[in-house]
A and B are shown apart, each in its own frame.
Chain A
C-alpha cells in the first residue's frame, strides 16, 4: 500500500472493499432474522451512512496525508483529549469487536460440537480462543503469508457459494412471511438493524489514507470509496437475503451457524460442515489479526503518551505482552458480564458495543472536521459539499447510536466516563517521569518509536487505524 507506484481506480476499489469485508457477515443473518426481513432495509440505510462517512474521510484525507487518520483529525480539531478519546474509542471497539468475532467462531464451532450451544460452555470456548490467540501473538510467531490467503479465501468461499447457487432453492415468500418479527414498531426494527449492521462496515475510515497512494485522487478516491463500499454492501445484503430465503425464519433465529445451515439446505450435510470449517478458519484468521492490531494501537498510543506506559512494554519478542494480556482480561470479563441466554444475543451485544466505540470515533472526527474545515483553504463549493456530508454523517451517527439500545449505551457511558480517568492518570504519570520522580520506562523510547512506525504500516494493511 505504501509503494511508489500510484494506484488506479480499479485497484483502489479493490482495496476499499478488502478493508471492509471481514467475517462480520457470518453471524449477522441469525441476528437479523430475529428482527425480520425488514432488517435488510436497515442494512441498506447503513450502507448509505457508511458511504457518506467514507466519502467524508476520503475527502478530508487530503488535509493530513500519511498520518494516523481519525486520531490526527480529532487532535488537530478538538484538542489532545479528543484525540485521546478517539484512540480510546478505537481501541475499545477493537477489543469488543474481537469478543464478538470469538463468539462468531464459537458459533460455527458449535456446528461440530453441539455442547457449545450452551451459553456458558460457548463463553468458555470463546475465552479459550482469545487467550490462545493472545499467547500466540505474544510469542513472537507471525502468521505466514499464505495463511492470510487461506483465511481470505475461507471468508469469500461461503459467500460466493451462497450467492452463486442460492437462487436454486431460494424461496422469496420466506421474506414476505417474516417482515417484522421483532415485536417493536417498523421504525424501531429498522433502527436496530441499522446499528447492528454497521459492524460489518468497520474499517471504512481507512478510506482517508487512500489519497496518498492514488493517481488523480480528487476524482478517483471518492469514486473508489463509493464503489468499494457499494460492492461490499451488495455482497453482504444479497448474501443475507439469500440465506433468509433459504432457511425458515424460526430456524435461522436459533442457529449460531446461519451460513452452514444455508449451505446444508443447498447441498446437504457435507457442504454444511465445509462451510462451518471455512467460517471458523476465517473468524480465527481475522481475530488473530485484530488481536495483534489492538496490541499495536495501545502500544502506539502509549508511545504518544496517551495510554499508560505499561501498554508500550514489550517482551523479548517485541510483542506488547502487557497490553495483550490486559485486553484479554477485559475481553474475558466482558464475556462473563454479558452472558446471555443465547450465543446470538451475546454476540449482538458485543457487536453493538463495538459499533458504539466506532460511532464515538466517527462523531469526534466529524465534529473536528467542522473545525478543520473552517480553517482550511478549500474553495467555497468544495467546502460546502463537505459541510453537507458532515451534517448527514452526524444525523446518521446519532441515529445509529440511539439504535444500539439501552444495555449497550449503558456500558458505553461507563466506558466513556472512564476515559477521562485513564487520561488524567496517564498525564500525571508523564509529568512524574519528566520530573524524575518515577523511573523512566524499561524500553528505550527510540527503538519503541521505530517499531511504532512499522506498526502503523501494518495497521495500514489491516485497514484500520490509518
Chain B
C-alpha cells in the first residue's frame, strides 16, 4: 500500500492497483459461491463492473483533489464529522472482520494437511492461535515479515493464473449447467447475494486515488492504470472461479474448505493440490500479517487525532502500539468464537459479509459526500451532472449489495452504527476538541 518517492510509470501503477485489490479472498470464495450455484458468476460480473466504476470515480476525484480523496476525507468534508468518524471506525472494524475471514481461509487450506482442522472447534482454536501468533510477531522487532506482502501477492498470482489459463483443458460445462441456481430463492436474490459476497474481493479499489500524487503522468496514467488493473483482476477472478466450478462437482465444492486445491488436484493430481494448498497458506498468512500491521497503524493514527481512545496510540519499546494490537486480537478471537459454524465456509462467509457491509457504509457516506464536494469545485453544470449520475448509479449498487448481505448482517450492522454514535460522543472528536482531522493516508 505504500508508495515510494520515485514517480511511478503506467505498468507500475497498474501493479499497485492489482496488488491492492488482489488478496486471499479468492481462495475460499468458490466454495461459498458454489452454495449459490453458477448463477453467482453473473453476480460477480456486476460486482466487477461496479468496482470498475468506483475505481474510476475515485481516480477522477484523486486528480481533482489529490490530497483529500480518501473515503474518510470525502465523508468528512461532504457530510460532516460524525460521518467521518463512522468511516474510520468502520474501516478499522472492517479490517478486523476481514482478518477473521483471512484466518478462517488459512485454516481451511491448512486442513488439507491436517484433516482434523475441519472440525469447527479445533479449526476455531487454530484460527485464534494464528491471529495471536501474527499479533505477537507484529509487536516485536520482526516486522520485516511485513515485507513478505509484495512477495505473497506474487505467490497468489501463480496458482490463480495457472488455473485461469490451463483449467479449460479439463473444463466440463455440464457441471456449470447442472448447478445453475441451487438456492431455494429466486434468481435475482441469488445474484444479489453473490454480488455482496464477491464485493469482498474488490475492497481496496478506491485506493487507486492514493497513488495519484505518486504518478508520473497522473492525468493519463491514473485512470488508465485503474481501468487496466481492475479489469485484469476481474478477469482473473471470474476465469478462475468459472474454471473451479467447471472442474469440481457442485456438492463437493460446497463442502470443501480448500476449493482451489481441489480444482488443481482434479487438473494435475494430488501433488499439485498440495503445492497449491501450501502457497495458499503462505499467501493468506502474508496478507493477514500485513493487515494486522495496517490495522494497528490506523487505530494509532485515529487515537493520535482524538478519534479513538488514547491507549491505541501507546507504543511499547519496539515502537509498536502493543495495547491496541492486543485489544484487537482479543476482539478478533471473540468474533471467531462467537461466529463459529459447523462449516468453516459459513463462518468465512459471515465474517466477509460483515466486512462488506461495513465497507458499504463507508462507500455510501463517501459517495454522498462527493455530491457536495464536487459542487464545491465549481465545475461546469454538464460535467457535474455526469458525475452525479455515476455517483447515483454507484449508490444504487451499494444498496443492492447491502441488501444482499442478508438480514443477519444488516441487523447487527445497524446496531453497530447506532453504537458508533455513542462512541463518537465519548471520543475527543465528539467534544470538538483534539486534532480530529485525520491526516490522509
A residues sitting closer than 8 Å to B (CB atoms) are 77-82, 359-360, 363-364, 366-368, 370-371, 374-375, 394, 398, 401-402, 406-407, 409-410, 412-414, 416-418, 420-421, 423-425, 427-428, 431-432, 435, 437
Q: Are A77 and B417 in contact (CB under 8 A)?
A: no
A417 (CB) vs chain B CBs: closest residue: B364
Measured between beta carbons, the chain A residues less than 8 angstroms from B360 are 417
* Of the residues B79, B370, B410, contact of A409 by C-beta under 8 Å: B410
B82 at the interface (CB under 8 A from A): yes
Known A363-B422, A414-B403, A421-B395; contact A81-B83, beta-carbon cutoff 8 A: yes
Cα–Cα distance between A409 and B410 once the two chains are bound (Å): 7
A408 (CB) vs chain B CBs: closest residue: B411
Q: Which one of A367, A374, A424, A435 has the highest number of Cβ atoms from chain B below 10 Å of its Cβ? A: A424
Known A78-B424, A414-B403, A420-B83; contact A425-B415, beta-carbon cutoff 8 A: no
Please provide the chain B residues from 67 to 92 with a CB less than 8 Å away from any CB of chain A in the complex.
Answer: 78-83
Please provide the chain B residues from 219 to 239 with a CB less than 8 Å away from any CB of chain A in the complex.
Answer: none
Known A363-B421, A367-B422, A417-B399; contact A423-B368, beta-carbon cutoff 8 A: yes
Known A79-B81, A367-B425, A371-B430; contact A424-B372, beta-carbon cutoff 8 A: yes
B residues sitting closer than 8 Å to A (CB atoms) are 78-83, 360-361, 364-365, 367-372, 374-376, 378, 381, 388, 395, 398-399, 402-403, 407-408, 410-411, 413-415, 417-419, 421-422, 424-426, 430-432
B381 (CB) vs chain A CBs: closest residue: A437
Q: Are A81 and B82 in contact (CB under 8 A)?
A: yes
Q: Are A424 and B421 in contact (CB under 8 A)?
A: no
Q: How far is the CB of B203 from chain A (nearest CB, A)?
A: 17
* Of the residues B82, B372, B403, B426, contact of A79 by C-beta under 8 Å: B82
Q: Which one of A77, A363, A423, A437 has the highest number of Cβ atoms from chain B below 10 Å of its Cβ? A: A423
Measured between beta carbons, the chain B residues less than 8 angstroms from A368 are 425
Measured between beta carbons, the chain A residues less than 8 angstroms from B419 are 398
Measured between beta carbons, the chain B residues less than 8 angstroms from A425 are 368, 371
Q: Are A413 and B364 in contact (CB under 8 A)?
A: no
Q: Which one of B79, B365, B376, B403 has the highest number of Cβ atoms from chain A below 10 Å of its Cβ? A: B79
Q: Are B413 and A428 in contact (CB under 8 A)?
A: no
Cα–Cα distance between A81 and B430 once the two chains are bound (Å): 12
Q: How far is the CB of A411 from chain B (nearest CB, A)?
A: 9
Measured between beta carbons, the chain A residues less than 8 angstroms from B371 are 424-425, 427-428
Known A78-B424, A367-B424, A428-B375; contact A416-B368, beta-carbon cutoff 8 A: no
Measured between beta carbons, the chain B residues less than 8 angstroms from A367 are 421-422, 424-425, 430
Measured between beta carbons, the chain B residues less than 8 angstroms from A427 are 78-79, 371-372, 375
Q: Are B372 and A416 in contact (CB under 8 A)?
A: no
* Of the residues B368, B425, B432, contact of A370 by C-beta under 8 Å: B425
Cα–Cα distance between A418 and B368 once the two chains are bound (Å): 10
Known A82-B421, A406-B411, A437-B381; contact A77-B372, beta-carbon cutoff 8 A: no
Q: How far is the CB of B436 from chain A (nearest CB, A)?
A: 11
Q: How far is the CB of A396 from chain B (nearest CB, A)?
A: 13
B422 (CB) vs chain A CBs: closest residue: A367
Q: Are A371 and B431 in contact (CB under 8 A)?
A: yes
15 of the cross-chain contacts (CB-CB < 8 Å) are A78-B421, A78-B424, A78-B430, A79-B81, A82-B82, A367-B424, A368-B425, A370-B426, A374-B431, A398-B419, A406-B411, A413-B417, A414-B402, A416-B414, A417-B361
Cα–Cα distance between A424 and B414 once the two chains are bound (Å): 20
Q: Are B82 and A401 in contact (CB under 8 A)?
A: no
Known A414-B402, A431-B375; contact A360-B418, beta-carbon cutoff 8 A: yes
Cα–Cα distance between A368 and B424 once the two chains are bound (Å): 9
Measured between beta carbons, the chain A residues less than 8 angstroms from B82 are 78-79, 81-82
Measured between beta carbons, the chain B residues less than 8 angstroms from A78 are 82, 421, 424-425, 430
Q: Are A421 and B368 in contact (CB under 8 A)?
A: yes
Chain A interface SS verdict (over half): helix
Cα–Cα distance between A24 and B361 once the two chains are bound (Å): 34
Closest 8 CB pairs of A and B: A424-B368, A409-B411, A81-B80, A413-B414, A367-B425, A428-B371, A424-B371, A413-B410
Cα–Cα distance between A437 and B383 once the two chains are bound (Å): 13
Q: Are B364 and A409 in contact (CB under 8 A)?
A: no
Q: How far is the CB of A313 from chain B (nearest CB, A)?
A: 21
Q: Which one of A81, A364, A374, A412 has the highest number of Cβ atoms from chain B below 10 Å of its Cβ? A: A81
Cα–Cα distance between A302 and B271 once the two chains are bound (Å): 67
Q: Are B372 and A428 in contact (CB under 8 A)?
A: yes
Cα–Cα distance between A455 and B241 once the two chains are bound (Å): 59
* Of the residues A364, A406, A421, A435, contact of B421 by C-beta under 8 Å: A364
Q: Are B369 and A398 in contact (CB under 8 A)?
A: no
Cα–Cα distance between A421 and B431 once the two chains are bound (Å): 25
B405 (CB) vs chain A CBs: closest residue: A413
Q: Are B80 and A79 in contact (CB under 8 A)?
A: yes
Q: How far is the CB of A304 from chain B (nearest CB, A)?
A: 15
Cα–Cα distance between A360 and B364 once the two chains are bound (Å): 19
Known A81-B82, A402-B415; contact A424-B369, beta-carbon cutoff 8 A: yes
Measured between beta carbons, the chain A residues less than 8 angstroms from B426 are 370
Measured between beta carbons, the chain B residues less than 8 angstroms from A424 are 78-79, 367-372
A437 (CB) vs chain B CBs: closest residue: B381
Measured between beta carbons, the chain B residues less than 8 angstroms from A421 are 364, 367-368, 395
Cα–Cα distance between A237 and B137 once the two chains are bound (Å): 59
Known A81-B80, A414-B410, A421-B368; contact A401-B375, beta-carbon cutoff 8 A: no
Q: How far is the CB of A63 from chain B (nearest CB, A)?
A: 15
Q: Are A431 and B376 in contact (CB under 8 A)?
A: yes
Q: Are A406 and B408 in contact (CB under 8 A)?
A: yes
Q: Are A81 and B79 in contact (CB under 8 A)?
A: yes
Q: How far is the CB of A83 from chain B (nearest CB, A)?
A: 9
Cα–Cα distance between A370 and B430 once the two chains are bound (Å): 9
Cα–Cα distance between A364 and B368 once the two chains are bound (Å): 21
Q: How far is the CB of B70 from chain A (nearest CB, A)?
A: 17
Q: Are A80 and B414 in contact (CB under 8 A)?
A: no
Q: How far is the CB of A393 from chain B (nearest CB, A)?
A: 11
Cα–Cα distance between A418 and B400 once the two chains are bound (Å): 12
Q: How far is the CB of A62 from chain B (nearest CB, A)?
A: 20
Known A78-B424, A432-B375; contact A413-B413, beta-carbon cutoff 8 A: yes
Known A367-B424, A368-B425, A420-B79; contact A410-B411, beta-carbon cutoff 8 A: yes
Cα–Cα distance between A80 and B378 once the two chains are bound (Å): 23
Cα–Cα distance between A359 and B375 once the two chains are bound (Å): 33
Q: How far is the CB of B79 from chain A (nearest CB, A)?
A: 5
Cα–Cα distance between A184 and B418 once the two chains are bound (Å): 26
Measured between beta carbons, the chain B residues less than 8 angstroms from A435 are 378
Cα–Cα distance between A308 and B431 once the two chains are bound (Å): 29
A422 (CB) vs chain B CBs: closest residue: B368
Q: Which one of B372, B374, B407, B411 has the highest number of Cβ atoms from chain A below 10 Å of its Cβ? A: B411
Q: Are B431 and A420 in contact (CB under 8 A)?
A: no
